[in-house]
Amino acid sequence: MTPSTDPPLLAVEPGYRHVLRAQTAISWLPLVIGAIIADQILLRDTPFHGIPSIIVPLLALLAITLIPQRKYSRLRYRLTDRMLQSLHGWMFHTDTMVPFVRVQHLDVVRGPLDKAFGTASLIVHTAGTHNSIVTVAGLAPDRAAEIRDIIREHVRSDFE
């Protein structure tokens, strides 16, 4: 790492798109099922019968095809010599910077979806009650561990 000039923003693993898709699909599933059931039971005798059963799954399909791609393209992270920067958010852009010396502890988390698509999340905990958890999702497991080790070295060198 060259300390003076900021290194470029890095994209996360392409496989994370699938994780995002799967997550979106899972989050839409109850809504779709609920809409279909409600449609079949409650709207049976109204002129609206059948509309939710078509519209909601279509919306879900739209969401699954469009949103993850956009979210993914916004996901960036950067590791300077003293900070971790994380950019995310499709409609609401968030750009978080965490100085290494403020980090309290570090998690590398792999959920079932992460395992299926070969990604991992790095979770950085800082002190305090506000915005104290910063996540960099969609990293390769090795890369997550590598960043964890880099940050941990800095935590160690900060000493009173």
Partner 1 sequence: MSSSDQAVGVAERLHPLYLVTGLGRGLRQMAGGYAAIGYFAATGSWGTALLLLAGIAVVLTIGVFLYWKRFEYRVGANEIRIDSGILSRTHRSIPFDRIQDVDISQGPVARLLGLARVAFETGASAGDKSDDGALAAISLARAAEIRELVRARRGAAVASADLTETEAAPIFAMDPPRVFLAGLFNFSLAVIAALFGATQTVGDVAGLDFFTRRFWRQALEAGSPIADFVLANQIAAGIAGTVLLLITGLVTGVARTVLRDFRFRLDRTPAGLRRRRGLLTLTDVTLPIKRTHAAIIGSGPLRNRFGWSDLKLQSLGKDEGKKGDHLVAPLARESEIAAILAQLNWRPVDPSSDWQRTSPAFAWGFTGALFLLLIPAGIQLAINPLIGLAAVAFLTVLVAFRWLSWRRTRFALDGDRLLIRSGWWRRRLILLPLANIQSVDLTENIFSRRFGLASLAIGVASGRGFSAHGIAAIPAPTARALRTSLLARFA
Write out the two tokens for 99. 């100085």
Is the CB of 52 or the CB of 100 nearer to partner 1? 100
Rule CB under 8 A: is residue 146 a binding residue for partner 1?
yes
59 binds partner 1 (CB under 8 A): no
SS3 category, 76: strand
Measured CA to CA, the distance from residue 2 to residue 69 in angstroms comes to 31
Residue 1 as a binder of partner 1 (CB under 8 A): the answer is: no
* Three-state secondary-structure class, residue 83: strand
Contact between 18 and partner 1 per CB under 8 A = no
Among 74, 107, 117, 140, binds partner 1 (CB under 8 A): 107
Interface residue with partner 1, options 32, 103, 136, 137 (CB under 8 A): 103
Burial class for 114, CB neighbours closer than 10 Å (0-12, 13-18, 19+):
buried
Strand pairing of 83-88 and 76-79? antiparallel
Q: How far apart are CA 157 and CA 81, in angstroms?
A: 13
For partner 1, the binding residue among 10, 43, 140, 145 (CB under 8 A) is 145
Q: Which two tokens stand for residue 110?
A: 């792999």
As to burial, measured by CB atoms within 10 angstroms (0-12 exposed, 13-18 middle, 19+ buried), residue 86 is buried
* Residue 127 CB, nearest approach to partner 1 (Å): 4
Q: What is the nearest approach in angstroms of partner 1 to the Cβ of residue 137?
A: 13
Closer of 21 and 148 to partner 1 (Cβ): 148
Q: Which of 10, 25, 83, 108 binds partner 1 (CB under 8 A)?
A: 108
Return residues touching partner 1 (CB under 8 A): 103-112, 114-115, 125-129, 132-133, 145-146, 148-149, 152, 155-156, 158-160
